[in-house]
C-alpha cells in the first residue's frame, strides 16, 4: 500500500451527489487517505479545494490511474460510465469501488468481475444499505433462524425525486432492496421476476412495481417511486415464526420484531382446517448509531489490509445487475414474467423507452 502498509491511498472520481459522502468517510477513516479527486466540472473541483486543501483536484481521470500513491479508485459517476472507467482502473492495477449498480448491463458487470479476478485486484460495489445496523441485525436474526421459514419481503421506497437522467427509477432505487435481499438470502437468486412501470414525465419510468419469485414460495415485492409527496423507506420481512418492520426514516426503533403469525391446524380435510392467530410481544432491538458508509469503508479496508471477508463484492453486484436486467425486460413486456438471466441482446439500461 502507499506510504504505509496500514493506509490505503484512495482516488475518488465524481464529486456530485454521492462523491462528497465518499470523500468525507474515506478522510475520516484511520485506514484510508484521500489522495486525489477527479471531476470534469470546475465548480465541483472548487468545492474540493475549499474543503480539502490537502487533496489533489484534477479533471484528468488518467492522473489517478498513473498515481502510485493511489491503491483504490472509487467511482461515483453515471452508471453508463462504470464499465469504461472501471475497466481502465482494473487495467492500471487499482482496486475498485463502484457506486450502485455495478454496471448498465449484465454483460458489462460480468466483464468487470472477470477482469478484476484476472488482474488480481478487489472489486467492491457500494451497496450501502447492507451495512446499516438494521440490516446487519436482520442478517443475525435470519442466520439464527429467528424468523422461521421466510414467507415474504415487502418494500416501499418512495419520495419526490431525485429524477435521474441516465437511468430509470428501477435502476436508481431498486438496487437498494435487491442488495438487501441478496445479503439476507446469502446470494440466492429469484427464479422469475415481473415488473410494471410508467413514465409520467420524459422517457424513463418514474414509478415501478416489481415482484420476485423464489423456488420455495418466498416472494418479494418492491415499490419504487420518484413521484410521492412523502418519503417512505419501509421494509416488511415476515417468517412463519416472527415478523419484522424496518423503517429507515424512523428516528427511534428503526427495527421492530413482532412475535406474531398464524398457525394452521390440518385435520385431514381442507374445510376442517383451523387458522389461529398468534399475538406476541414486539421488541425493538438496540442498534448501533453509526453511518453505514463508514462501516462499509472499514469492511473494504479490512479486506485489503487484513484479508477479512468482503460483504458487498463484485459477485453481489453482478447478481443485482442480473436481476435488474430481468426486471427491465419484464417492464418492456408490460409485466410479463421473465426467467432471471434471460438474454437481453442489444438492450441497454439507459436506453430510453416509450411507456404507456
Map out the domains of the chain as residue ranges.
8-128+292-309, 130-289+320-339
Q: Which of 3.40.50.720, 2.60.40.10, 3.40.50.880, 3.30.360.10 would CATH assign to domain 130-289+320-339?
A: 3.30.360.10
* Contact indicator for 297, 26 with CB cutoff of 8 Å: yes
pLDDT given for residue 266 in this prediction? 67
The whole-number pLDDT of residue 263 equals 74
Distance CA 204, CA 194 (A): 18
Cell numbers found for residue 122: 478487489
Angular region, 177: left φ>0, alpha ψ -120 to 50, beta rest: alpha
**Are the beta carbons of 77 and 97 closer than 8 angstroms?**
no
pTM of the shown model: 0.91
pLDDT of residue 349: 42
- Low pLDDT (below 70) residues in the chain: 1-5, 266-275, 342-356
Asked if 199 contacts 351 with a C-beta cutoff of 8 angstroms, the reply is: no
pLDDT of residue 281: 87
Specify the pLDDT at position 126. 98
Instruction: Count other C-beta atoms under 10 Å from residue 30's C-beta.
Output: 9
CATH for 8-128+292-309, among 3.40.50.720, 3.20.10.10, 3.40.50.300, 3.40.50.2300? 3.40.50.720
Classify residue 131 by its DSSP letter.
Answer: G
Rounded Cα distance between 2 and 10, Å, is 10
Instruction: Output the CA–CA distances (angstroms, integers) from residue 212 to 36, 47, 192, 216, in the order listed.
Output: 41, 42, 6, 12
What's residue 5's pLDDT? 63
- Residue 275 confidence (pLDDT): 67
**8-128+292-309 against 130-289+320-339: fold identical:** no
**What is the predicted pLDDT for the residue at 344?**
47
What count of other Cβ atoms lies within 10 Å of the Cβ of residue 306?
A: 9
Amino acid at each position: 500500500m502507499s506510504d504505509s502498509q496500514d493506509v490505503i491511498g484512495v482516488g475518488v472520481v465524481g464529486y456530485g451527489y454521492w462523491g462528497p459522502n465518499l470523500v468525507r468517510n474515506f478522510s475520516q477513516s484511520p485506514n484510508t487517505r484521500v489522495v486525489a479527486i477527479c471531476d470534469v466540472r470546475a465548480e465541483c473541483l472548487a468545492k474540493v479545494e475549499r474543503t480539502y486543501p490537502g487533496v489533489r483536484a484534477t479533471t484528468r481521470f488518467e492522473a489517478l490511474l498513473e498515481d502510485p500513491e493511489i491503491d483504490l479508485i472509487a467511482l461515483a459517476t453515471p452508471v453508463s460510465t462504470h464499465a469504461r472507467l472501471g475497466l481502465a482502473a482494473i487495467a492500471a492495477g487499482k482496486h475498485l469501488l463502484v457506486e450502485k449498480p455495478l454496471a448498465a448491463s449484465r454483460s458489462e458487470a460480468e466483464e468487470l468481475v472477470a477482469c478484476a479476478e484476472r488482474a488480481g485486484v478487489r472489486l467492491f460495489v457500494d451497496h450501502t444499505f447492507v451495512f446499516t445496523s438494521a440490516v446487519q441485525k436482520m442478517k443475525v436474526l435470519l442466520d439464527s433462524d429467528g424468523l422461521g421459514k421466510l414467507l415474504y419481503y415487502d418494500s416501499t421506497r418512495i419520495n419526490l425525486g431525485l429524477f435521474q437522467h441516465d437511468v430509470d427509477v428501477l435502476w436508481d432505487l431498486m438496487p437498494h432492496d435487491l442488495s438487501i435481499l441478496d445479503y439476507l438470502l446469502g446470494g440466492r437468486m429469484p427464479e422469475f421476476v415481473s415488473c410494471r412501470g410508467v413514465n409520467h414525465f420524459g422517457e424513463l419510468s418514474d414509478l415501478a412495481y416489481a415482484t420476485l419469485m423464489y423456488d420455495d414460495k418466498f416472494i418479494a415485492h418492491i415499490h419504487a417511486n420518484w413521484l410521492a409527496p412523502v418519503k417512505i423507506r419501509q421494509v416488511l420481512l415476515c417468517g412463519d415464526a416472527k415478523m419484522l418492520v424496518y423503517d429507515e426514516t424512523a428516528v427511534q426503533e428503526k427495527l421492530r420484531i413482532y412475535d406474531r403469525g398464524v398457525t394452521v391446524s390440518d385435520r385431514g380435510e381442507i374445510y376442517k382446517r383451523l387458522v389461529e392467530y398468534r399475538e406476541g410481544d414486539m421488541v425493538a432491538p438496540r442498534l448501533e448509531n453509526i453511518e453505514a458508509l463508514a462501516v462499509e469503508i472499514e469492511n473494504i479496508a479490512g479486506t485489503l489490509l487484513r484479508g477479512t471477508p468482503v460483504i458487498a463484492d463484485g459477485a453481489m453486484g453482478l447478481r443485482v445487475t442480473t436481476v435488474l436486467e430481468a426486471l427491465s425486460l419484464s417492464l418492456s413486456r408490460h409485466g410479463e414474467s421473465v426467467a432471471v438471466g434471460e438474454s437481453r441482446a442489444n438492450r441497454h439500461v439507459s436506453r430510453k423507452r416509450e411507456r404507456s
